[in-house]
């Protein structure tokens, strides 16, 4: 007796599709079959919608996004589409967040061309240099280029098909650089594929696109996802099958069991396709922050503690101060946030003229340079915090807000950043930091303030020396 193999859910749990009567998916599958590979059932269903065309032969979906849990083979859909595009002489740009992912996709499609019977040099040309990979099919003139995404990548170039792999990391400044690259095409298409964002994901475009399509706000746009709508138990096998269409094919229960850990949220995001809502609401709300605003400048007590933070992308540097008040609270204020191109002179000038107790500098892109400059000007040796101390500073900042031991004067720049932030993981023991929910808001402003607050919190009052006779 043959036991029927249980398969994962072959249809999206949620999707939005523009109505259509024709699709070119069968052509793509025929090219894919030449590699001796076969489509899974769910891949055929998805590709059918992705490659739908209208009565004029134009793509029904100028943009299509889909989200599937890891290791299900979501990029195979992209490879099928790219093989078809090469055979039809199209110009393709395949982008990814990491150079290793981009190069891996290049290697995979090159292998598929070879498995289809094409010979490198005779039938197609390839450039293997990492970061500049390229394939060209001679018979049709079809070209595919591979790039990692930057805020300027793709500018000045034109493509018929734009692929956004690892779309959960796709940022708005990258989108601004890439979205116009398909404008000149007679029949453009953009594909975004990825997984739901984790707390450490930097992108916002994928999430916003999903929200807008599901809300019916976008024309010529499609969406599909395999997901759960609430947190499930890690051992919930039915949830595994609900969200993993390739379960029962190359993905097995045994493989999922081997990856199980103690992080319930991570399992739900990465394996079950759960879309968390932490990007919808700031980790620090406007109400919480406004409760700490002073009506009048408090009486300050003691010297200043200075926090300096170089942005993670090395573009800006922020400086804030913290000082104790007569009432026992800690008052924080941002001095400035400037481009690193302006140099460190403005920081040095402030430190030379202010009554400073201690300086904390974080940010690998500039902390050593500034530390050396401070030494040249005979300023106090700054503290360059370790990861454990950064984690402590973030935790103390959160506790100070909850316990209302922190105060500020309502600076618009700091208020905007603080009330539009999310948490991100730091280290492996539950530590966290903050990130901005929007690409045009520099989290270094808040990071510099919390470093100053941490230094001010850790200072021990000097004891008066008692002399006994």
CA–centroid distance for 194 within its chain: 11
Q: Is the CB of residue 80 less than 8 Å from the CB of residue 113?
A: no
Residues 333 and 439 in one domain: yes
CB atoms within 10 A of CB 138: 12
Closest CA to 340 of 203, 454, 442: 442
pLDDT in tens, 407-447: 999 999 899 899 988 888 887 667 889 998 877 788 999 99
Whether the predicted pLDDT of 463 surpasses 70: no
Residues 224 and 303 in one domain: no
**Domain final position from 227, 245, 270:** 270
DSSP bridge partners of 373: none
Q: Is the CB of residue 394 less than 8 Å from the CB of residue 433?
A: yes
339 lies in a domain? Answer: yes
DSSP bridge partners of 333: 321
Residues 304 and 246 in one domain: no
Residue 401 three-state SS: helix
Alpha helix (H) ranges present in 88-146? 99-115
Residue 410's domain spans which residues?
Answer: 286-458
* Residue 279 pLDDT grade (very low, low, confident, very high; cuts 50, 70, 90): very low
49-63, 163-177, 303-317, 412-426: which is most confident? 49-63
Residues 214 and 67 in one domain: yes
278 lies in a domain? Answer: no
Strand pairing report for 431-436 and 421-426: antiparallel
H or E, element range at 415: helix 412-418
Distance (Å, rounded) from C-alpha 380 to C-alpha 374?
Answer: 7
Count of structural domains, the chain: 2
Cα 95–Cα 98–Cα 102 angle in degrees, nearest 5: 45
pLDDT at 313: 84
Closest CA to 133 of 96, 98, 103: 103
Residues 247 and 355 in one domain: no
Polymer length of the chain? 469
**Domain final position from 212, 239, 270:** 270
124 lies in a domain? Answer: yes
pLDDT in tens, 131-146: 889 999 999 999 999 9
Strand pairing report for 91-96 and 142-148: parallel
277 lies in a domain? Answer: no
Distance (Å, rounded) from C-alpha 59 to C-alpha 53?
Answer: 4
Residues 296 and 234 in one domain: no
pLDDT at 154: 58
Residues 130 and 219 in one domain: yes
Residues 25 and 174 in one domain: yes
pLDDT at 233: 94
67 lies in a domain? Answer: yes
6 lies in a domain? Answer: no
* Residue 257 pLDDT grade (very low, low, confident, very high; cuts 50, 70, 90): very high
Q: What is the domain-level CATH number for residue 326?
A: 3.30.420.240
Residue 264 three-state SS: helix
Q: What is the domain-level CATH number for residue 208?
A: 3.40.50.300
Residues 214 and 338 in one domain: no
Residue 425 three-state SS: strand
**Domain final position from 270, 304, 333:** 270
pTM of the full structure: 0.63
Strand pairing report for 134-137 and 124-127: antiparallel
Angle between helices 74-87 and 99-115 (to 10 degrees): 60
Residues 290 and 247 in one domain: no
469 lies in a domain? Answer: no
Q: Which two tokens stand for residue 104?
A: 């891996």
DSSP designation for 419: T
pLDDT in tens, 339-396: 999 999 999 999 999 999 999 999 988 999 999 999 999 999 999 999 999 999 999 9
Residues 323 and 452 in one domain: yes
CA–centroid distance for 329 within its chain: 36
Residue 358 three-state SS: strand
DSSP bridge partners of 274: none
Alpha-carbon radius of gyration of the chain = 27
275 lies in a domain? Answer: no
Q: Is the CB of residue 196 less than 8 Å from the CB of residue 13?
A: no
Residues 359 and 404 in one domain: yes
Closest CA to 328 of 434, 261, 403: 403
């Amino acid at each position: 007796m043959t036991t029927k193999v249980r398969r994962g859910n072959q249809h999206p749990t949620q999707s939005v599709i523009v109505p259509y009567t024709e699709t070119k998916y069968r052509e793509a599958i025929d090219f894919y079959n030449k590699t001796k590979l076969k489509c899974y059932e769910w891949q055929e269903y998805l590709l059918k919608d992705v490659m739908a065309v209208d009565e004029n032969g134009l793509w029904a979906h100028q943009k299509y996004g889909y989200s599937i849990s890891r290791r299900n083979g979501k990029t195979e859909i992209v490879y099928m589409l790219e093989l078809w595009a090469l055979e039809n002489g199209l110009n393709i740009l395949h982008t990814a967040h990491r150079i290793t992912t981009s190069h891996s996709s290049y290697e995979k499609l090159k292998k598929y061309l070879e498995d289809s019977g094409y010979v490198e040099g005779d039938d197609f040309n390839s450039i293997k240099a990492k970061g500049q990979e390229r394939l060209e099919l001679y018979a049709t003139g079809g070209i595919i280029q591979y790039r990692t995404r930057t805020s300027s990548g793709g500018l000045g170039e034109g493509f018929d098909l734009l692929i956004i792999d690892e779309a959960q990391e796709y940022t708005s400044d990258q989108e601004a650089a890439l979205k116009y690259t398909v404008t000149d095409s007679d029949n453009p298409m953009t594909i975004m594929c990825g997984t739901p964002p984790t707390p450490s994901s930097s992108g916002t475009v994928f999430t916003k696109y999903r929200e807008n399509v599901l809300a019916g706000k976008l024309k010529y746009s499609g969406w599909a996802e395999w997901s759960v709508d609430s947190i499930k138990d890690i051992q919930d096998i039915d949830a595994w099958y609900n969200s993993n269409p390739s379960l029962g094919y190359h993905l097995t229960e045994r493989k999922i069991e081997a990856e199980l850990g103690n992080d319930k949220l991570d399992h739900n995001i990465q394996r079950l396709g759960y879309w968390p809502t932490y990007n919808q609401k700031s980790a620090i709300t406007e109400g919480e922050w406004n409760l700490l605003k002073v009506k009048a400048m408090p009486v300050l007590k003691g010297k200043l503690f200075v926090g300096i933070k170089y942005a993670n992308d090395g573009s800006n540097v922020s400086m804030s101060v913290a000082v104790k008040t007569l009432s026992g609270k800690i008052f924080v204020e941002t001095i400035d946030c400037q481009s690193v191109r302006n140099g460190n002179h403005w920081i040095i000038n402030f430190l030379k003229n202010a009554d400073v107790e201690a300086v904390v500098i974080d940010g690998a892109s500039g902390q050593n340079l500034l530390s050396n400059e401070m030494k040249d000007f005979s300023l106090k040796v700054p503290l360059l915090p370790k990861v454990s101390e950064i984690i402590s500073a973030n935790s103390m900042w959160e506790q100070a807000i909850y316990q209302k031991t922190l105060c500020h004067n309502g600076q618009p720049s700091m208020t905007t950043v603080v009330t539009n932030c999310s948490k991100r993981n730091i280290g492996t023991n539950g530590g966290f930091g903050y990130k901005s929910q929007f690409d045009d808001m520099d989290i270094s402003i808040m990071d510099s303030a919390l470093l100053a607050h941490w230094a001010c919190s850790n200072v021990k009052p000097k004891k008066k020396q008692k002399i006994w006779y």
